[in-house]
C-alpha cells in the first residue's frame, strides 16, 4: 500500500510517507470569516475531508487542523457600529460550521482562531528579527509599529511557486511606505487611526495586530509542531499566502510542511468564483434548493485538483447517481433480511488503487457504480450471495467517501411531504395490482404496472411483498440554482 499525492512544491506525484504512521498531521487554511461561505469554500473543505477520511482508512490516526482567520482587513471592513468585528467573525464562523456539517464534512481535530495565538505569532516574529529576516519600521516614520519580512534576506523565497523575486508583484497587504523592498510583506501591523481598539494587541514593536500570513505559521506550529506532514488549501492561496508562510517559517528555523496539497477552484463560466468578482453562489442558497448529500456528491465528483464549473445539471447528475446507489443499497439491505448479515465489506482493489493514486475520486466512483451495476445484475439472476457481497462492498466505498445514502445523518428521503405523497399513491396502485392478480385479471394488472413504469418507477416482487424505486434515469431538470 502506497499513497501518492501531488506535491505542489515539487510539482510532481510523491509517495506519501508520514513522519509518524500512527498519527498523520494535516494543516488546512480555513476561512477568513468576513462573510458567509459560497460553494467554492464547500468544495475546498470537502476535498480535504475526503483526503482526511482516506488517510484515516490507511493509517492509525489523523490530526487535522483547520484554522479560522477572525482578524483581518476584510473582517474589519465589513464590521459596523451595530456589529463589531469580533461579533461578525463569530457569526460568520457559525455559518461556515453549519454549511460544512450539512454536507458531512467532519469537524477538525482542532479549529483554532487566529486571535487565540497572538503570543505565538509574536514569538516567531521576534525570532525572524533576531535571525536578520525581519525588521521594524523606524519609530519616527508614518509606518511606526509595522514589522516586515525581508524577502531578499531569504534566498529560497519563491521556492513554492518557482517564481523569480524580481518578477513578483509588490506585496499589497500593507502600506509600502515603511518597506525596504515593495515585495516585503507585513508580519505585524501597527494600529491605525480609525481602527477599533479591540482589534489591537500590545507587542514589542507597538500596539497593533498580526499580518495574515504569520497567523497560519503560528497556529500550525502550535498545534502540529515545527514540522508536520501536509499543508493544504485552495490553489489561489499558493501565492502570496502559502509562499509567505513557507518563507517565514523556514527562515525562523522550522521544518514546516513536508507536502503541499492544493485543491482546484470552482468556476462559473470558466471564471474563478470569488466574493471580489461578485460571481459566487452562496452555500446557503444551494443547500436550500438541493439535498445536502447531492451537493456533497456533485462537489466531490471531479478530481480535487481540477477546476469545477458548477451548473444545475451538475446537481441533477449527482442526484441521479445517488438514486442508483440508494436503490441498490436498499435492495441489498432487504436481501440481507433487513439488517441480518448487513455490514461493510472489503473495498474493491480498483477503488483502493484509485484513491491511493492522488485521491482519484472520479475513478473510485466509477468502481462504485460498476459494483452497483454488477450487484443488481446478480440479484436479477437470483444470485443472492453475489448481490450481497456487492452490497457490502458498496457500503464500504460509500462510507469511506461519506456518500452512504442510508447513513442516518442524511435522514430519510421518504420523510419529505412529496415523497410521502408519492409513496401513498404508488402503494395504492400496488395494492390494486395485487387485487387484479389475485382475481387473475392479468390485463388490469399489466395496465397498472405499465402506468407505474411510465412514471419512471420500477417494481420488484419479492417473497416479502412488492417494493418500488425510482428508475435509473436522469432526474427531471430542476430550476437553476
pLDDT, tens digit (0-9, with 9 covering 90-100), for 32-54: 999 999 999 999 999 999 999 99
Q: Does domain 16-130+213-286 have CATH number 3.30.413.10?
A: no
β partners of residue 466: 461
Calpha distance 198→19 (Å, rounded): 40
SS3 375: helix
Q: Where in the chain is the domain with CATH 1.20.120.640?
A: 314-411
pLDDT band at 278 (very low <50, low <70, confident <90, very high): low
Q: What are phi and psi of 309, to 5 degrees?
A: -90, 105
Calpha distance 429→367 (Å, rounded): 36
Alpha-carbon distances of 254 from 17, 114, 210, 233, 260, rounded to whole Å? 19, 19, 19, 20, 15
Regarding beta strands 227-234 and 24-28, do their DSSP bridges make them parallel or antiparallel, or are they unpaired? Answer: parallel
Q: What is the pTM of this model?
A: 0.85
244-276: pLDDT as tens digits: 999 999 999 999 999 999 999 998 766 666 666
Check: CB of residue 426 under 8 Å from CB of residue 457: yes
- Give the gyration radius of the chain's Cα atoms: 27
Calpha distance 372→366 (Å, rounded): 10
Q: Where in the chain is the domain with CATH 3.40.50.620?
A: 16-130+213-286
Task: Name the least confident of 191-195, 225-229, 246-250, 278-282.
Answer: 278-282
Q: Is the pLDDT of residue 341 over 60?
A: no
Only one residue has cell 506535491, namely 7
pLDDT band at 23 (very low <50, low <70, confident <90, very high): very high
Calpha distance 326→413 (Å, rounded): 10
Q: What are phi and psi of 343, to 5 degrees?
A: -155, 160
- Closest by CA to 33, choosing from 78, 76, 84, 75, is 75
Q: Quick count: other Cβ atoms within 10 Å of Cβ 381?
A: 10
Check: CB of residue 254 under 8 Å from CB of residue 227: yes
According to DSSP, residue 176 is labeled G
Alpha-carbon distances of 90 from 94, 276, 420, rounded to whole Å? 6, 21, 39
- Closest by CA to 42, choosing from 313, 290, 399, is 290
Q: Does domain 314-411 have CATH number 1.20.120.640?
A: yes
Q: Is the pLDDT of residue 4 over 70?
A: yes
Amino acid at each position: 500500500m502506497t499513497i501518492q499525492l501531488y506535491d505542489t512544491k515539487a510539482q510532481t506525484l510523491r509517495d506519501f510517507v508520514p513522519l509518524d504512521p500512527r498519527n498523520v498531521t494535516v494543516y488546512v487554511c480555513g476561512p477568513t470569516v468576513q462573510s458567509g461561505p459560497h460553494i467554492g469554500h464547500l468544495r475546498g473543505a470537502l476535498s480535504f475531508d475526503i483526503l482526511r477520511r482516506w488517510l484515516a482508512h490507511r493509517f492509525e490516526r489523523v490530526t487535522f487542523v483547520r484554522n479560522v482567520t477572525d482578524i483581518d482587513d476584510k473582517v474589519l471592513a465589513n464590521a459596523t457600529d451595530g456589529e463589531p468585528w469580533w461579533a461578525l467573525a463569530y457569526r460568520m464562523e457559525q455559518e461556515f460550521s453549519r454549511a460544512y456539517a450539512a454536507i458531512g464534512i467532519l469537524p477538525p481535530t482542532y479549529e483554532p482562531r487566529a486571535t487565540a495565538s497572538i503570543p505565538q505569532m509574536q514569538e516567531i516574529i521576534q525570532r525572524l528579527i533576531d535571525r536578520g529576516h525581519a525588521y521594524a519600521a523606524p519609530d519616527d516614520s508614518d509606518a511606526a509599529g509595522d514589522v516586515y519580512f525581508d524577502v531578499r534576506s531569504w534566498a529560497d523565497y519563491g521556492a513554492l511557486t518557482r517564481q523569480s523575486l524580481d518578477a513578483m508583484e509588490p506585496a499589497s497587504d500593507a502600506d509600502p511606505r515603511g518597506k525596504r523592498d515593495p515585495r516585503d510583506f507585513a508580519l505585524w501591523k501597527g494600529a491605525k487611526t480609525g481602527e477599533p481598539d479591540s482589534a489591537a494587541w500590545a507587542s514589542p514593536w507597538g500596539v497593533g495586530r498580526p499580518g495574515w500570513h504569520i497567523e497560519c505559521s503560528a497556529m500550525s506550529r502550535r498545534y502540529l509542531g515545527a514540522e508536520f506532514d501536509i499543508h493544504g488549501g485552495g490553489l489561489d492561496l499558493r501565492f502570496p499566502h502559502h509562499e509567505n508562510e513557507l518563507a517565514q517559517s523556514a527562515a525562523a528555523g522550522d521544518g514546516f510542511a513536508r507536502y503541499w496539497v492544493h485543491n482546484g477552484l470552482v468556476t462559473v463560466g470558466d471564471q474563478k468564483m470569488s466574493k471580489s468578482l461578485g460571481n459566487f453562489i452562496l452555500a446557503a442558497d444551494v443547500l436550500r434548493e438541493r439535498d445536502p448529500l447531492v451537493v456533497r456528491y456533485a462537489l466531490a465528483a471531479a478530481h480535487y485538483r481540477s477546476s469545477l464549473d458548477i451548473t444545475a445539471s451538475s446537481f441533477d447528475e449527482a442526484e441521479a447517481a445517488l438514486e442508483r446507489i440508494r436503490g441498490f443499497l436498499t435492495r441489498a439491505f432487504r436481501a440481507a433480511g433487513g439488517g441480518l448479515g448487513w455490514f461493510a465489506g472489503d473495498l474493491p482493489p480498483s477503488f483502493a488503487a484509485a484513491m491511493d493514486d492522488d485521491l482519484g475520486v472520479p475513478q473510485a466512483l466509477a468502481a462504485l457504480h460498476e459494483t452497483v451495476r454488477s450487484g443488481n445484475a446478480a440479484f436479477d439472476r437470483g444470485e443472492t450471495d453475489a448481490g450481497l457481497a456487492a452490497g457490502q462492498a458498496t457500503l464500504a466505498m460509500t462510507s469511506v467517501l461519506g456518500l452512504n445514502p442510508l447513513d442516518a445523518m442524511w435522514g430519510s428521503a421518504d420523510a419529505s411531504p412529496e415523497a410521502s405523497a408519492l409513496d401513498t399513491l404508488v402503494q395504492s396502485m400496488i395494492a390494486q395490482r395485487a387485487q387484479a392478480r389475485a382475481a387473475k385479471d392479468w390485463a388490469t394488472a399489466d395496465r397498472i404496472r405499465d402506468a407505474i413504469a411510465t412514471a419512471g418507477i420500477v417494481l420488484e416482487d419479492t417473497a416479502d411483498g412488492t417494493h418500488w424505486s425510482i428508475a435509473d434515469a436522469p432526474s427531471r431538470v430542476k430550476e437553476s440554482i
